[in-house]
Every structure is written in structure tokens, then in C-alpha cells.
Amino acid sequence: MPREPANSIPMELPADDLTFLRDLVKLSRQKHHHVAWVDRDGTDRVTTLSQPEVVRLNQLAHRLRVSKVELMRQASHIPVGKFISSSKSETAALTPPLANGAN
């Protein structure tokens, strides 16, 4: 008895589950980038990023004039939880190093 092709089997799932699965497959087909960095507690980490994520990380690192590795280390100090922005400033807590190299 021949098997039906996988694409002809209907999936009885809600639309958001189908979207999630489609996005997983789409992401798995993209090139992944690995960024090795050291966490604030000294733990070596490797973060896997998609192409759009690595582009954004590169843009942020360039803007702050730091490496991707340093940016990830600085980002590890961002508190987890609710982010309350002040009405005075919408800028991030991460800052570029001073011109003389001290920070």
C-alpha cells in the first residue's frame, strides 16, 4: 500500500499553531550564527542567532562602538522583568566606552 506524500496530510491545528510550526521550519532553513561570550557570572555562553538577529546585534554593537561579544556581556546586566521607561529618556542603559577607554 503506497504512502501518501506528507504534504497531502491535513493538519487539524489552530492557525496560530500552524504559523508557529511554519516559522520553525523557516528558521531552521536559515543560516545560523553563533556568538561566543562570557556571562556576567563568568560562564561561557554561545548564543545562536538567526540572520535578522545577527544583523540587528551588529548594528547595535556598531552604534555603541563595542564588539558583539562585549555587547552581549553588557546586555547580561539588563534586569529581567518589567521594563519601566521614564518619560525623560527612551535610550538604553548600554553606553559606548569613553574616548580615553575608561568606562
- In the prediction, which pLDDT does 100 show? 54
Instruction: Kindly state the greatest CA–CA separation across the chain.
Output: 75
Three-state DSSP state, 65: coil
| More confident site: 88 or 81 | 81
| More confident site: 70 or 26 | 70
CB-side exposure of 24: number of CA atoms within 13 Å?
A: 6
Write out the three cell numbers for 85. 521607561
What's the rounded mean pLDDT across residues 78-90?
66
Write out the three cell numbers for 15. 492557525
Model's pTM, two decimal places?
0.58
Residue ranges per structural domain of the chain:
28-77
Residue range 1-53, pLDDT digits in tens: 556 556 656 678 999 999 999 988 987 888 889 999 999 999 999 999 988 89
Q: What is the CA radius of gyration of the chain?
A: 20
pLDDT band at 95 (very low <50, low <70, confident <90, very high): low
- In the prediction, which pLDDT does 68 show? 96
